[in-house]
Chain A
């Protein structure tokens, strides 16, 4: 291996981390990039003992290029990088032995669930729910959503178990407890911190999968070419559809960013975002909502932080795709329109709103809807608590006060209906919770 090739791989391994970390400081970016580059060279060396060189290199690259997907934030987190580096070191050491001992497997498991245990010990509240796992893996900031190639780390385990059972056992010892730990939600760090410690253990599965993929591509090149051609067909079909629906001007310049966004919207609406499969299907099926709703809802927190007692959602104020109210509106709501001094949306007869809540507090949970219209507006939370109030000609509050037990941690459905199928104009939704004293734990 030449020095040039080594340097090239060092740069490739560190590039993604460097770009992601350089937003604030180039020094930090270069430092973390170099650190990741070194980690990459070590991981690759370990993998090459068990796999061909190219799958080993590409598996390492796939893992490290996806690093920034875990714990995306405007400011890079060196502590997470250190945690990841330490777990890489553990993987490097443990994967070196041909038959991992029980203590080694125990160490792998401990490393993988260590951060979760630490969080749990410090948490003022915690709860276990399968939704937490789905959000951590498939939510818009989830690991497999941000880095779909990491799927290979799980898919490759089957083949690995037959061909390299020692590596398979090591990977399973870390991944099993690690994934299970994602069921836990606390008021502490993001799930990405917990994931950082078992990410390196995906490498054997990724390398195994890539090795098979290389063999397949060599055996059936025409199928690979067909797959690539299918991407061009998809691009064209989505472009045709958005042109047909007049989402683009028929005779003017267009922004290709907008074209991409329209296509992504169509894909997500029709099939759900592939990177979020199967969580988005489960979500859509359980709550009877459109497939594309998962992305903007999973992991959303209406209350700004754990101590916030009120959350306000302005309805119709933001016209962009990033509008915070849009993901919450399920059906029955009209387009944005002006009302009094600001922007609103009309409710046509009946509609549903989705309220994702991380915590509902201990006392009463209050929902205030600023609305106007004629007739009586009724609100119902999860089909249990109901409130009925007459609306006025000018905007005023309609309030629903529900016991905390009727609101769920997770997804709640607020149903609205105007008596007689009339219209109501909605301006703002305010949620208030009573955190009470003491711990929920």
Chain B
């Protein structure tokens, strides 16, 4: 038995090392050094490692040292994710570049002056990065924490590079090469995997091994976590989840009741704040813990000592960020986020959009979070003293995220800025799943009813698509085409379920179909990236986002694309700030013989009328600031006889 244990241990270690080597080197294997590992070879190694681990940790292990079934499930779930990381995942893309330059600069130059890194990535010409700061550095709006936590893996890549060089192999040691980037990506992935096990450990006490594991698996594979573990590992999210999970586990294990525990808790939270500044919200929890201890009349001296140690830990944890800011901006603490003073606008929350918009809405993209929110309710009811406090970070972080300038989190997968809440969400999800299990046990027919409803929906949405003439009942359709027609019918009739209830509110507010919410909510005329540039170009691809009703299908007249209106039509355009705007309408009368009059109103307020000439022509009106609202605005166009509209251009006032 002992021989088998040693054998499987050695085999596991060898295979794990080989897989890590393949990921870091991009294919080099010690088992098959003559060839690069193909996807099949990688999968076979993963399968063998899985078997070896099952044998070593379950079959051959002594009964009292056996790995729990839940943990084993999580171990096995790593393999598809690792495959994803190696063969599919990206490396230096989006924010990942700006976090990675910290690692490279700290390890190669021992500073946070990114001029050489930005130059390497051809970013020095970019407006905001071309000008040095007061200290002569180049600015970064990103935190130092992730880059700092990745340094051990960068150093590991250095060690590997030295070995390769000694063996006479050609290797890129600049820090920009694949070896260092892959090692750093694997490191970030590792933080994420450890976070998963920490969350599992955090849940086990209340929910047992298997339910905790099922919860973590669901959160991992049904949320943005897998994306940021394997697809875009070089972001702050894996490290942030890791540190927050460690913080919750330490707190659950009564760390604040001891001196060393208080220091560890403070340090964890401090580093977490260096990774994502908003993790500072969690300072609230140990503060409440200390207050509770004070109210329970615990020793004041002990409380002060633990409080000071915790504070010291927090300070030590955030010190790297303070030093980085001092080096880059000349200040230890910045009065506003480096993104700009108007990035966080606490008086302007976009709550419905943040949660339900099709632009990376948390609940619309990843509906699993609905269960997390819902599950927190029975959890709080069951044990309010322990869990009610968790609503505070949930509400504060949700509010802060909704107040961010780009509430849609840029080019994100779902709303990734909620990553710090994953341990809290895991609690809610576990509670929901437990409740769901009880409901199914008591009312098993309800499941069948849901299934029958699903069958009816599959069937009836297509019937509605045929009735709306979006599909034909004659020619068979591909599944993609049928799904498109059915989902359009569903969205038109009742809104897409993932957007409920925001789409209903939108429909009621703007007197339109809830289906219009998808494309319209979150598309701006002028605000931030990918805005419309002030032009509502009708007839072009994607103009459905601007149309509420009254327009014909897109038409073309030579190079001009347009839509027609019979008498009245409504456009919807979104603004971040109300301001006086000019509206230039490019129109023509449909009968091409004589001009026709068009009246225009903004949010029900008439702003004047123009003439649509027999051939294409542009006319301008002006709508004062008082007529506009923040968010969606309705522009109504009324014509005495049919007209064609090519585009409406919104711009500053003429004066």
Contact = CB atoms under 8 A, between A and B. Distances in A.
B482 A264 contact: yes
B226 interface: yes
B554 to A, nearest CB: 12
Contact of A260 (B218, B364, B411, B487): B487
> Considering residues A147, A229, A326, which has the most beta carbons from chain B within 10 angstroms of its beta carbon?
A229
A318 to B, nearest CB: 11
B413 A265 contact: no
A146 B459 contact: yes
Contacts of B496: 256-257, 260
Given A16-B459, A239-B365, A256-B518, A265 B358 contact: no
A72 B476 contact: no
Interface string B427-466: 0000001001110110011011101100110111011101
A221 B441 contact: yes
A68 B472 CA distance: 14
Interface string B493-528: 000101100000000000000010011111100000
A268 B523 CA distance: 31
B628 to A, nearest CB: 20
A58 B448 contact: yes
A326 B490 CA distance: 25
A291 to B, nearest CB: 10
A251 B451 CA distance: 35
B478 interface: yes
A301 B101 CA distance: 60
A309 to B, nearest CB: 19
B359 A16 contact: no
Contacts of B467: 23, 74
Given A253-B519, A297-B476, A321-B481, A147 B410 contact: no
Contact of A72 (B358, B455, B466, B545): B466
Nearest to A239: B365
A58 B460 contact: no
B62 interface: no
A299 B477 CA distance: 10
B518 A222 contact: no
A306 to B, nearest CB: 14
Nearest to B469: A74
Contacts of A196: none
Given A253-B520, A257-B487, A61 B452 contact: yes
B292 interface: no
B476 A255 contact: no
A102 interface: no
Contact of B479 (A229, A252, A265, A297): A265
What does DSSP make chain B's interface, helix, strand, loop or mixed?
helix
Contacts of B365: 239
B654 interface: no
B459 A68 contact: yes
A214 B448 contact: yes
Nearest to B357: A253
A139 B475 CA distance: 11
A114 B488 CA distance: 39
B530 interface: yes
Interface in A293-344: 295-300, 320-322, 324, 326-327
Contact of A296 (B441, B462, B466, B476): B476
Contacts of B359: 251-254
B303 to A, nearest CB: 43
A156 B475 CA distance: 32
A210 B448 contact: yes
Interface residues of B, number: 79
Given A19-B463, A66-B459, A265 B473 contact: no
A214 B455 contact: no
Contact of B466 (A74, A261, A326): A74
Given A213-B448, A244-B88, A254 B358 contact: yes
B413 A256 contact: no
Interface string A236-251: 1101100110000111
A378 interface: no
A295 B478 CA distance: 5
A149 B475 contact: no
B587 interface: no
Contact of B491 (A69, A256, A296): A256
Contacts of B411: 250-251
A254 B491 CA distance: 13
Interface residues of A, number: 79
Nearest to A241: B88
A324 B476 contact: no
Contacts of B76: none
A100 B352 CA distance: 61
A62 B466 contact: no
B367 A232 contact: yes
B529 A251 contact: yes
A261 B484 contact: yes
B358 A256 contact: yes
Nearest to B440: A221
A68 B463 contact: yes
Contact of B231 (A240, A263, A296): A240
Contacts of B441: 217-218, 221
A223 to B, nearest CB: 9
B366 A264 contact: no
A215 B440 CA distance: 11
Interface string A97-122: 00000000000000000000000000
A194 to B, nearest CB: 18
A140 B518 CA distance: 28
A261 B463 contact: no
A269 to B, nearest CB: 9
B1 to A, nearest CB: 33
Given A74-B473, A149-B452, A257-B488, A263 B483 contact: yes
Contacts of A292: 478-480
A322 B491 contact: no
Contacts of A262: 480
A69 B486 CA distance: 13
A144 to B, nearest CB: 11
Nearest to B480: A265
Contacts of B520: 253
B569 interface: no
B234 interface: no
Contacts of A237: 221
B189 interface: no
Interface in B190-248: 214, 218, 221-223, 226-227, 231
Contacts of A31: none
A228 B218 CA distance: 11
A27 interface: no
B471 interface: yes
A69 B460 CA distance: 8
A368 B53 CA distance: 63
Nearest to A322: B481
Given A225-B437, A256-B518, A267 B479 contact: yes
> Considering residues B231, B358, B475, B483, which has the most beta carbons from chain A within 10 angstroms of its beta carbon?
B483
A65 B456 contact: yes
B531 to A, nearest CB: 10
Given A253-B518, A264-B480, A240 B447 contact: no
A140 B447 contact: no
Nearest to A71: B473
A251 B522 CA distance: 10
Nearest to B468: A23
20 contacts: A20-B463, A65-B460, A72-B463, A74-B466, A148-B455, A149-B455, A217-B448, A233-B218, A236-B368, A251-B530, A253-B522, A255-B519, A259-B358, A260-B487, A268-B480, A295-B476, A295-B478, A298-B476, A321-B480, A321-B481
The 9 closest A-B pairs by CB, nearest first: A265-B480, A140-B476, A217-B444, A264-B483, A261-B484, A257-B487, A23-B467, A65-B456, A221-B440
Given A217-B440, A252-B530, 11 more contacts: A19-B460, A23-B466, A55-B445, A149-B451, A213-B447, A214-B448, A235-B367, A257-B487, A295-B477, A296-B478, A320-B481
